[in-house]
Amino acid sequence: MIEALIAGLGQVLSWPAIGLMFVGIGAGFVVGMLPGLGGATALALMLPFIFKMQPHEAFAFLLGMSSVVAMTGEITSILFGVPGEPVTAAAVLDGHAMAKHGEAGRALGAALFGAFLGAVFGAISLMITIPIVQPLLRSFGSPEFLMFAVLGIAFVSSLTGSSPAKGFAAAALGLLLATVGQAPGTATLRYTFGQLYLWEGVAIVPATLGLFAIPELVDLAVHRTSIARRDIGALGGVRQGFADVLRHRWLAVRAVVIGIVIGVAPGIGGSGAQWIAYGHAVQSAADPKRFGRGAIEGVIAPAIASAAERTSALIPTVAFGIPGNVTTAVLLGAFIIQGLVPGREMLTTNLSLTFAMAWTMIISNLIAITICVLLVRQLAAITRIRGALLVPPLIALVFLGAYAERNTLFDVMVALAFGGLGLAMNALGWPRAPLILGLVLGGTIENYLSLSVNRYEFEWLGRPLVATLLAVSVLVALSPYLQSWRRRRKAAPA
Amino acid sequence: MTRRWDRAFALALAVVFAVAAYLALAWSEIARLFPLAVALPGLILALLAVILPARTEPAEPDDEELPRRELVRRTAITIAWILGFFAAVYLLGFLISIPLGAVAYMRIIGRERWTTTLAMAAVCWAFIYALFDRLLHVPLPTGELLRALGLV
A16 pLDDT above the threshold of 90: no
Residue A138 clears pLDDT 80, i.e. is over it: no
* Closest C-alpha to A358, from A313, A388, A412, A405: A313
Highest mean pLDDT of the ranges A66-70, A85-89, A329-333, A423-427? A423-427
Nearest-CA neighbor of A114 among A361, A304, A369? A304
Higher pLDDT among residues A131 and A346, named by residue: A346
Give A-chain residues touching B144 at CB under 8 angstroms: none
Amino acid identity at A235? L
Answer yes or no: do A388 and B105 touch at CB < 8 A. Answer: yes
Query: Mean pLDDT throughout A450-478?
Result: 88
- For A:251-310, CB contacts with B below 8 A are 289, 293
> Do B13 and A175 make contact, defined as CB atoms within 8 angstroms?
no
What does A329-388 look like in DSSP terms, one character per residue?
A: HHHHHHHHHTT--SSHHHHTTTHHHHHHHHHHHHHHHHHHHHHHHHHHHHHHHGGGS-HH
Spatial distance between the Cα atoms of A118 and A239, rounded to a whole number of angstroms: 18
Contacts of residue A293 in chain B, CB cutoff 8 Å? 60
B109–A224 CB contact, under 8 Å: yes
Q: How confident is the model at residue B40 (pLDDT cuts 50, 70, 90)?
A: very high
Q: Is the omega angle on the peptide bond into residue A393 within 30 degrees of 0, that is, cis?
A: no
pLDDT of residue B26: 93
For residue B28, give the chain A residue with the closest CA: A188
Kindly report the number of other CB atoms within 10 A of residue A291's CB atom.
Answer: 22
Predicted ipTM?
A: 0.93
Q: Which helix (H) or strand (E) holds B65?
A: none
Most confident range (mean pLDDT) of A139-148, A276-285, A376-385 is A276-285
Question: Does A265 score more than 80 pLDDT?
Answer: no
The answer, yes or no, to whether residue A425 has pLDDT greater than 80, is: yes
Instruction: Please tell me the number of Cα atoms within 13 Å of A380 on its side-chain side.
Output: 27
Best B6, B38, B40, B115 residue to mutate vs chain A (most A CBs within 10 Å): B38
Residues of A numbered 198-217 whose beta carbons fall under 8 angstroms of chain B's beta carbons: which are they?
A: 214, 217
Single pTM value for the model: 0.82
Query: Per-residue pLDDT averaged across A293-317, rounded?
Result: 89
Q: CA-to-CA distance for A449 and B38, rounded, in angstroms?
A: 13
Are A229 and B116 within 8 A, CB to CB?
no
Residue A83's φ and ψ, nearest 5 degrees, are -60, 120
The Cα of B86 is separated from the nearest Cα of chain A by a number of Å equal to 8
Chains A, B: CB pairs < 8 Å? 199
- pLDDT at A112 exceeding the cut of 80: yes
Of the candidates A240, A399, A339, the one whose C-alpha atom is nearest the C-alpha of residue B98 is A399
Instruction: Provide mean pLDDT across the span A78-105.
Output: 86
Q: Of the candidates A173, A230, A396, which has its C-beta nearest B63's C-beta?
A: A230
Chain A residues with CB-CB distance to B13 below 8 A? 169, 173
Q: Does A19 touch chain B (CB under 8 A)?
A: no
Tell me the three state secondary structure of residue A181.
strand
Q: Do B89 and A409 touch (CB under 8 A)?
A: yes
pLDDT in tens, B113-131: 999 999 999 999 998 898 8
Asked whether the beta carbons of residue A188 and residue B132 sit closer than 8 angstroms, the reply is no
| Section A424-452 average pLDDT | 88
* Neighbour tally for B65: CB within 10 Å: 10
Q: Is A385 within 8 Å of chain B by CB?
A: no
* Distance between A260 CA and the closest CA of chain B, angstroms: 28
User: Tell me: the pLDDT tens digits for A240-254?
Assistant: 999 999 999 999 999
Closest by alpha carbon to A101, among A237, A4, A261? A237
Count of all residues that appear for chain B in the document: 152
Tell me the residues of chain A between 417 and 436 that have a Cβ less than 8 Å away from chain B.
Answer: 419-420, 423-425, 427-430
Taking CA–CA distances from B2, the nearest residue in chain A reads A428
Predicted confidence band of residue A301 (pLDDT cuts 50, 70, 90): very high
CB atoms B55 and A427 under 8 Å: no
Give the Cβ contact number of residue A80 at 10 Å.
26
The pLDDT assigned to A234 comes to 52
Instruction: Output DSSP code: residue B52.
Output: S
Show residues of chain B in contact with A173, CB under 8 Å. Answer: 13, 16-17, 42
Instruction: Report the pLDDT value the prediction gives residue A376, as an integer from 0 to 100.
Output: 77
Nearest CA in chain A to B101: A392
Per the prediction, chain A carries an average pLDDT of 85
Mean pLDDT to the nearest integer, A155-163: 78
Which residues fall within 8 angstroms of residue A68, CB to CB, at 6 or more apart?
Answer: A25, A28, A29, A32, A364, A365, A367, A368
Please give the share of chain A, as a percent, with pLDDT higher than 90: 22
pLDDT at A310: 84
Contacts of B74 in chain A (CB under 8 A): 221-222, 224
Which residue in A205, A291, A428 has the most chain B C-beta atoms within 10 A of its own C-beta, making it the best mutation to test that interface?
A428
A481 vs A435, higher pLDDT: A435
**Chain A contact set for B66 (CB, 8 A):** 222-223
Is A450 at the interface with chain B, CB within 8 A?
A: yes
Highest-confidence segment of A26-35, A39-48, A153-162, B3-12:
B3-12
